[in-house]
Structure 1
């Protein structure tokens, strides 16, 4: 199986890529930060495509470099950090926070799929990742809802080719000592990777248009 993992220049993207590689798949990673991406590609022994998925020009220039016959696309956003307390943001800082969340989580996923969606084989899978559980009422929470709605709509589009598309999101973590958990529960990155692997298999053909949370098996409540 041929897999593209965007955000390969992040720790989460690298973990996801490593999980697919260790499962015997051919993996290509992409990312905008050349140095981080090249280090990850060398250490994982995978191919890399330098590309900013929030930039249509960058995507257009890199289009021919992506694998032409993909089985799975795992979209891992690359966060743009903003310092300070959101409660004290100026109007300009607030606008930047919203633009950053929208660009990295939704725009990048939409542009990537528009650019190389035709490269997906029938029966393939798209997994959009939300790396962290956002605070209620935050820009990230609103943008996560937008990503979920867009993903559900795309399921009707790509379903005609037997392609599934889902969101895998970090849930609210379990508390230490929670019944049924081991002393060292798996990391969020490991859980995201495991669920992404499952969604790319034939056993998950019935799951599409969904937002699925990983939270160490804890029953979580999401507003």
Structure 2
């Protein structure tokens, strides 16, 4: 059965990959993002609808409110575009403040505000998937870093929202890249798979009836790495 799906961050490569995965599975997809030109190109190439809004900005979301689908089966929160990070070793105090605020806004606040404005549009039995960006956890997350704070904040908020939306039969989960296998790993004969398609497949699975028992979790895709139980 086809679902109505809203994918934010449709103006990013990750958002495009996730939207494409849902569309190819036969679902009706709407993408959203703040960069109009990139968003419209993606919408045309994927043959999906698009809505221009900045989900870190309450005023922009309020303006876009009438355009959101009235009934949704799945909301996939993909972080807004991020600027290329500078070397934090060169930061002054003001630079640190800007970096933390920007990172928290694009990943955490964007998800919080989007759920706030379209949460009532979700049908009973629907799903919310909050995506933690690849650059946050694909490398070693340093204790006390903004990247570690983002993952912890979004994971904790996701668990809380699962309890809230669970009364309506809606699941809420987070998806993050995990530790990947290195190309020289003995058990790996090919280059490790790209992270974005793995995230797309997991987001799609979490939106299906087969995943109704999973909620409040942060799940990882690990680029072919084998779990170590030793």
- TM bin, normalised by shorter chain, reads over 0.9
1:170 and 2:177 correspond:
yes
1:185 and 2:208 correspond:
no
1:49 and 2:55 correspond:
no
1:201 and 2:208 correspond:
yes
Query: Counterpart of 1:21?
Result: 23
Q: How do residues 66-85 of structure 1 correspond to structure 2 at under 5 angstroms?
A: 66-85=68-87
Deviation at 1:220, TM superposition (A): 6.3
Query: Counterpart of 1:153?
Result: 160
Residues paired across the two proteins, number: 221
In structure 1, C-alpha distance between the alignment counterparts of 2:86 and 2:34, rounded to whole Å: 25
Query: Could you tell me whether the CA contact under 8 Å between 1:171 and 1:220 is conserved in 2?
Result: no
Query: Could you tell me whether the CA contact under 8 Å between 2:180 and 2:224 is conserved in 1?
Result: no
Query: Counterpart of 2:125?
Result: 123
Query: Could you tell me whether the CA contact under 8 Å between 1:172 and 1:220 is conserved in 2?
Result: no
In structure 1, C-alpha distance between the alignment counterparts of 2:114 and 2:5, rounded to whole Å: 14
Query: Could you tell me whether the CA contact under 8 Å between 1:75 and 1:128 is conserved in 2?
Result: yes
* TM-score calculated relative to the size of structure 1: 0.95
* TM-score calculated relative to the size of structure 2: 0.92
In structure 2, C-alpha distance between the alignment counterparts of 1:94 and 1:82, rounded to whole Å: 14
Query: Could you tell me whether the CA contact under 8 Å between 2:193 and 2:224 is conserved in 1?
Result: no
In structure 2, C-alpha distance between the alignment counterparts of 1:80 and 1:186, rounded to whole Å: 23
Runs (5+) with no aligned partner, structure 1: none
Which SS does the other structure have where 1:198 is aligned? helix
Which SS does the other structure have where 2:82 is aligned? coil
1:210 and 2:210 correspond:
no
- Distance change (3 Å), C-alpha of 1:58 and 1:220: farther
What is the alpha-carbon root mean square deviation over aligned residues?
Answer: 1.5
Runs of 4+ in 1 over 2 A off after TM superposition: 177-182
Query: Could you tell me whether the CA contact under 8 Å between 1:82 and 1:97 is conserved in 2?
Result: no
Which SS does the other structure have where 2:6 is aligned? strand
Runs (5+) with no aligned partner, structure 2: none
Deviation at 1:103, TM superposition (A): 0.4
